[in-house]
Amino acid sequence: MISKDNLEQFSYLFDETIINDIAKVAQLKTFKKNDIIIDIGQELTHIPLLTEGNIKVLREDNDGHELLLYVLESGDTCAMSLTCCIAKSVSKIRAIADEDARVIMIPIAYMTKWFNSNESWRNFILQSYQVRFDEMLETIDTLAFMKMDERLFKYLSDQVKLSASTNLEITHQEIAEDLHTSRVVISRLLKQLEKENKIELGRNKISVLEF
């Protein structure tokens, strides 16, 4: 059971009935930056509602290389985990805290129950599917149609919007993992962007001058 105060930011989405129901059955969990919240192959028992922080949702290939699918922000849930819950299958994604995060965890048994009985919950689930689907299409388009330097600059611009800061504390290796390429390639392209006066490089920090 959690306090209804933890659900205040969802009041514009959910009616009073669902707010009360969530407060009765949910748990509030905190995660540190880089903590794994959901892992590939994990049996899912709860639906996550993000109340604070950002969460990266990734896929992994057979060689262990990760690809960033989308980033969850405060107020979001993960459509991929919802799909696995409905199918009663193990997780096909890895969700990692991109910064310190707080997550409301709802037992999966209530997902279908509320979907069938409450319009505000049903609309939230359907809208979440649509938003995440659009984001995955954007990821596919980026992979298929953009060159790596364009993908890198788009990634940096997206990070600025997510963090609401033009100063990003991130390593070249972390960027390489998110973009599914090598650190050497990222370092070379970052130096090129710096020469173009689009960014400024520091120690484990990148200042985005243009976005």
Digit-by-digit pLDDT tens for the chain (211 residues) are 898 888 888 888 899 999 999 999 999 999 999 999 999 999 888 889 999 999 999 988 777 778 888 889 888 888 778 777 777 778 888 999 998 999 999 998 898 899 999 999 999 999 988 988 888 888 888 888 889 999 999 999 999 988 889 999 999 999 998 888 888 999 999 999 999 999 999 888 999 987 7
Please give the model's pTM, rounded to 2 decimal places: 0.75
Count other Cβ atoms within 10 Å, centred on residue 109.
13
The residues spanned by each domain of the chain are: 4-134, 146-208
- Angle of the 183-195 helix axis to the 148-163 helix axis, nearest 10: 80
Please classify residue 26 by burial: count the beta carbons closer than 10 Å to its beta carbon, then call 0-12 exposed, 13-18 middle and 19+ buried.
buried
- Reply yes or no on domain 146-208 having CATH 3.40.50.620: no
Q: Which residues of 49-85 are buried (b: 16+ CB within 10 A; e: fewer)?
A: bbbbbbbbbbbeeeeeebebbbbbeeebbbbbbbbbb
Would you identify the CATH topology of the domain 4-134? Jelly Rolls (2.60.120)
Distance CA(121)–CA(144), nearest Å, equals 35
